[in-house]
Amino acid sequence: MSFVTHQLGLVHGNGLRALHGLDLSLARGERVAVIGPSGAGKTSLIRLLGCALRPSSGRVELLGHNPWQLSAAELRRLRARIGTIHQAPPIPPRLRVVTAILAGRLGSWPAWKGLASLLYPADIAGAQRVLARLDLADRLFDRCDRLSGGQLQRVGIARVLYQQPELILADEPVSALDPTLADAAIGQIVADAERRGAGVLASLHAVDLALKWFPRVIGLRGGEVVFDLPAARVDTAMLRELYASEGSVVPTQANDPALLHALGDAETGTTDDRVVRLDSCRGRG
């Protein structure tokens, strides 16, 4: 299993209850999208699954280990097998794109290699390959503060693709991308995970993206699971109910309800058919 949680709960330091009694699991190679209104606990869930927070109650098992019973060295090795795509890419602006991407493997490289790679990039070709998939190959040696918000977000995705984790956690990974690019970037994450048999859990703001790319969708509201269903069985009434606190407006990329209907019962083809050619979006985002 990628992960299993038992009655997982999280209470923040200020007493705010973020998550309550979650029983979730994800098989190896399975993909699931988490949707829900803001404040639903999506980010908290991702931080718990990324060993960045310790649960207040219940327990979590990641790639067959209970992270909080491991020794420091074992926990470090486990963390290196999990890759988190952050909504705001945690990349220092002065870093070059190539360095920011190669940093993805710092968890598996020996310390000397990480240091030596600052003197001369250790794997230019590898970084180039990953970046090309996100149509940024020509920005390899640019500094990150020369990139737009959307480009930086794609560099953040490229870092995690380069890390090659067994479990990919993505926290609103395409929030700064326009619809075409967002679709293509999610497609690349999915294609990479399928190729390597990695599990994916992604929180998404746009419900249409979730229904298109993820066979399974979890609806989260107020820190509790509202539904956990195959994408084909998620209907409009459930979504309206999920987003009741936001005026029952179901957020989509183009904010076009018709799009949602079209996608809701779209049958799923093979990944390659659906991956949008990124070259067609050059110069955007």
What is the C-alpha to C-alpha distance for residues 201 and 62, in angstroms, rounded to an integer?
Answer: 13
Chain residues 48-107 in contact with other proteins, contact rule CB under 8 A: 50-54, 68, 70-72, 75-84, 86, 88, 90-95, 99, 103-104, 106-107
Q: Which is nearer to other proteins, 68 or 141 (CB)?
A: 68
Contact indicator for 161, 192 with CB cutoff of 8 Å = yes
**222: alpha, beta or left? (left if phi > 0; alpha if psi -120 to 50):** left
> Which residue in this structure is represented by tokens 């060295």?
73
Residue whose C-alpha is closest to residue 277's, from 87, 75, 111, 132? 132
Q: Which is nearer to other proteins, 102 or 281 (CB)?
A: 102
Q: For other proteins, how many residues bind (rule: CB under 8 A)? A: 45
SS3 89: coil
The answer to whether residue 125 forms part of the interface with other proteins (CB under 8 A) is no
Q: Which is nearer to other proteins, 187 or 223 (CB)?
A: 223
Whether the CA torsion 264, 265, 267, 273 is positive or negative: it is negative
Q: Which is nearer to other proteins, 84 or 153 (CB)?
A: 84
The answer to whether residue 8 forms part of the interface with other proteins (CB under 8 A) is no
Write out the H or E segment, with its range, that includes residue 181.
Answer: helix 179-196
Q: Letter for the amino acid at 141?
A: F
In sequence order, which residues have a C-beta less than 8 Å from that of residue 264 and are 6 or more positions away? 211, 234, 235, 236
CB 217 → other proteins: shortest distance, Å? Answer: 26
CB 52 → other proteins: shortest distance, Å? Answer: 5
The answer to whether residue 146 forms part of the interface with other proteins (CB under 8 A) is no
Q: Where are the alpha helices (DSSP H) in 8-121?
A: 42-49, 72-80, 97-102, 111-119
Q: Which is nearer to other proteins, 71 or 270 (CB)?
A: 71
- With contacts defined by CB under 8 A, name the span among 30-38, 112-120, 177-185, 228-236 that binds other proteins: 112-120
CB 222 → other proteins: shortest distance, Å? Answer: 10
Q: Which is nearer to other proteins, 83 or 219 (CB)?
A: 83
Residues that bind other proteins (CB under 8 A): 14-17, 39, 50-54, 68, 70-72, 75-84, 86, 88, 90-95, 99, 103-104, 106-109, 111, 114-115, 118, 163, 165
